[in-house]
């Protein structure tokens, strides 16, 4: 057995035996080097393998941690992020990163909104204080006039319904595997090139008018998709 596999199995056993719980910080890379008389490269190979398996995760300048339980998400169901998280025992929170002035100068406006000015709202969402996704919400400025005056760190669906009388009735999601954009990696305190799930979500009202078009970048180790069939 190669040394990196020995180190990997040692950490896995600590997790399996409950000596390292969900969210616990791992021993430092230096201490693992000393414990196994190893090199930094070998230790990082072991950690990278565990990260790819979803056992641990890293945060820049903070270290390595045991991955918590994953959020179970049903792509075919329309559900509120906060309600879904709370139903599974998580404490959700949202941070508004930026709300851009209405513009029609980017591709989403031309592809989805007939070149009309749109808002672009960027937010980060957290579970138990850990950043798990960055989302971009795009919607027509004319339909959601003065959106900047609303409280935007909660449910956007509720804001649309309560302040603009717009109901979201159905949506379509496209899901693909990619890496975090650099700006999202910085927000989530991850390294450039970190794997993620990219969700493109188009939401519609009862008359099939596009309400908003969203891009979501989920950390791959924080979400588990559940699909039910008959």
List CB contacts of 171: < 8 A, sequence separation 6 or more: 78, 201, 202, 203, 204
Domain spans, the chain: 3-66, 71-225
At the top level of CATH, the class of 71-225 is: alpha beta
The beta strand positions in 19-117, using DSSP E, are: 56-59, 63-66, 71-73, 92-103
The alpha carbon dihedral of 37, 50, 215, 168 has a sign of negative
The per-residue pLDDT for 230 is 67
In the chain, pLDDT over 90 holds for what percent of residues? 81
Q: Which residue has the higher pLDDT, 108 or 188?
A: 188
Closest CA to 223 of 85, 49, 66: 85
CATH code for the part of the protein at 3-66:
1.10.10.10
Is the pLDDT assigned to residue 30 strictly greater than 90?
yes
Q: List the structure tokens of 73.
A: 């998400």
- Average of pLDDT values for 179-202? 94
Provide the CA 149 distance to its chain's centre, in angstroms.
26
Model confidence, pTM = 0.88
């Amino acid at each position: 057995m190669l040394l990196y596999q020995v180190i990997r199995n040692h950490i896995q056993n600590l997790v399996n035996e409950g000596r390292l719980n969900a969210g616990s910080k791992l021993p430092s890379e230096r201490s693992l080097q000393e414990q196994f008389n190893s090199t930094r490269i070998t230790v990082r190979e072991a950690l990278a393998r565990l990260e790819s398996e979803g056992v641990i995760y890293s945060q820049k300048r903070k270290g390595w941690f045991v991955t918590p339980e994953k959020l179970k998400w049903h792509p075919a169901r329309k559900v509120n992020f906060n309600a879904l998280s709370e139903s599974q025992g998580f404490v959700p929170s949202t941070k508004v990163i930026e709300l851009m002035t209405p513009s029609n100068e980017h591709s989403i406006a031309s592809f989805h909104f007939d070149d009309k000015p749109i808002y672009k709202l960027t937010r980060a969402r957290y579970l138990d204080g850990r950043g798990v996704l960055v989302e971009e919400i795009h919607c027509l400025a004319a339909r959601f006039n003065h959106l900047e005056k609303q409280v935007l760190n909660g449910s956007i669906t509720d804001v649309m319904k309560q302040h603009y009388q717009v109901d979201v009735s159905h949506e379509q999601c496209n899901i693909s595997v990619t890496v975090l954009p650099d700006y999202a990696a910085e927000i989530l305190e991850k390294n450039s090139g970190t794997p993620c799930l990219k969700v493109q979500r188009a939401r519609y009202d009862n008359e099939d008018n596009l309400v908003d078009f969203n891009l979501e970048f989920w950390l791959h180790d924080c979400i588990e998709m559940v699909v039910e069939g008959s």
